[in-house]
Structure 1
């Protein structure tokens, strides 16, 4: 990126814009802080023509800087920790300018240096939010030529773009955490009224996610499955206690009323703007059966949404292995035998097989199973 003698300013400007565009595109695809740090270091090496680039993440709990990403020839520092005040990276966080520039002949004695590394021209760009929170430091170096003001400006822009991306990812994570808490609270509302065994919501969410991963669901589908698991029985809030807690068999009229909870739940959750149709599918269809004998729509086979087929196995397993008003808890091996027997009738046989494998079993050897997971 160094402007060479004879290059026209407009050519240099076009190169700078191309570099920023490439960086922006790469950062848009990131979903975690670690990915952002890798992009910043790798593209700094490429676009600034430096010998090495390192990202030092600020860790508030430890109050230190830790090298979490690096690229280039000088790439042997992952995990190196700088306590507060140690090294040029910390000096950069206190500098009055966006970028600290250090001449290779003026590296101070207190600088932290990799053994055997040559003297280099150095740039350090802190990443700070608009509120002043330190996120880390992007550091680059090269033996020659010296850095120009243009290089400093580009690195500062890289750091600013990285800061915006890290803030976006942090805000998205906070939103997800808030949503997870709200969904869990709705699920726990059933447990607080003894409609479900205590812990049913968290157990089924965790087991559904585990089964989804075994079936190689995408991250988006896993998130949808989690949401559906949290909300699957929210419609039971409208069913009277004397029916839900009835220890004996239900009358036909009572059974129809209980079955209506899936429609009620779908109608309630539909009012939440951010909930997708696939989440509603889990809520409405997790009591459908592979053979078409389920409810509420008597869907059959692959007409049942996949995520609902996945959750159906998890929901039945948890119901079987925990105490309910109408039955005692069954041993895991017995519950797995029921899952095996119902494969191709109640359950999608491929989903049932994947579920059994979570416990070290198959459709053929459930009676010999010993839980592993």
Structure 2
């Protein structure tokens, strides 16, 4: 991942939320590893890495207390957090990013293969391809890192969960691509702070 992407994430204020900053970097690193597995051309790899790195940028516009709250969120609070993909689209456009694949990734990374995701309830192949991959990287990292709202899973437990959710929450091909990333690379990325 380029230092430029990390610097931009840092400068945008994600440094105020170290957990989201580190998560964004790890998701970007997973994207970069996947892009290399796919043999993406260098310019496409950079854009894919950036798109996945910026997937949660909309959280900058969500009240910090909601992002770190330990108690269960009420419905109104959950809805505020669910706005972050649309807020993220506004931010990446404001920053001058125009690539439709990046915008689609930021917008659609919480869509689910079975159509129960948000913000648009997209299903299956109608979910943009990069967003399908980003959803797998995002979920894996969320499962293996300490968060205020979940118990940390081992990498093996998280991979089992990805397998179980393949075809439900996740695109099966995206899950398979994730499993093609060398385990040593995943472990190194998982330890990034």
**Shared topology, TM-score over 0.5?**
yes
Given that residues 6 and 25 in structure 2 are in contact (C-alpha distance below 8 angstroms), is that contact kept between their aligned partners in structure 1? no
Q: Which protein has greater RCO, CA pairs closer than 8 Å, 6+ apart? A: 2
Runs of 4+ in 1 over 4 A off after TM superposition: 176-179
Tell me the TM-score normalised to structure 1 length: 0.46
- The correspondence of residues 125-204 of structure 1 with structure 2, limited to 5 A, is 179-186=4-11, 189-194=13-18, 196=20, 199-204=22-27
From 337, 345, 348, the equivalent of 2:168 is 345
Which residue of structure 1 aligns with residue 65 of structure 2? 242
Deviates more, 1:351-360 or 1:340-349: 351-360
From 323, 333, 357, the equivalent of 2:146 is 323
Which ranges in structure 2 are unaligned for 5 or more consecutive residues? none
1:277 aligns with 2:97: no
From 211, 215, 218, the equivalent of 2:34 is 211
Summarize deviations over 1:263-308 as a string: whole Å, max 9, x none: 0110111122343121111111111111111100111111111111
Which residue of structure 2 aligns with residue 233 of structure 1? 56
Which residue of structure 2 aligns with residue 304 of structure 1? 127
Point out the structure with the larger helix share: 2
Per the alignment, do residues 236 and 275 of structure 1 end up closer, same or farther by CA in structure 2, a change over 3 Å counting?
same
Tell me the TM-score normalised to structure 2 length: 0.86
1:263 aligns with 2:86: yes
Given that residues 291 and 344 in structure 1 are in contact (C-alpha distance below 8 angstroms), is that contact kept between their aligned partners in structure 2? yes
Per the alignment, do residues 291 and 328 of structure 1 end up closer, same or farther by CA in structure 2, a change over 3 Å counting?
same
Which ranges in structure 1 are unaligned for 5 or more consecutive residues? 1-175, 361-370
Summarize deviations over 1:145-181 as a string: whole Å, max 9, x none: xxxxxxxxxxxxxxxxxxxxxxxxxxxxxxx967435
How far is the alpha carbon of 1:357 from its aligned partner? 2.9
- Give distance in 1, aligned partners of 2:182 and 2:127: 25
Point out the structure with the larger strand share: 1
Number of paired residues? Answer: 186
Per the alignment, do residues 372 and 274 of structure 1 end up closer, same or farther by CA in structure 2, a change over 3 Å counting?
closer
- Give distance in 1, aligned partners of 2:175 and 2:32: 15
Given that residues 204 and 315 in structure 1 are in contact (C-alpha distance below 8 angstroms), is that contact kept between their aligned partners in structure 2? yes
Larger radius of gyration: 1
- Give distance in 1, aligned partners of 2:158 and 2:34: 16
Summarize deviations over 1:310-338 as a string: whole Å, max 9, x none: 11100110110000011232111100000
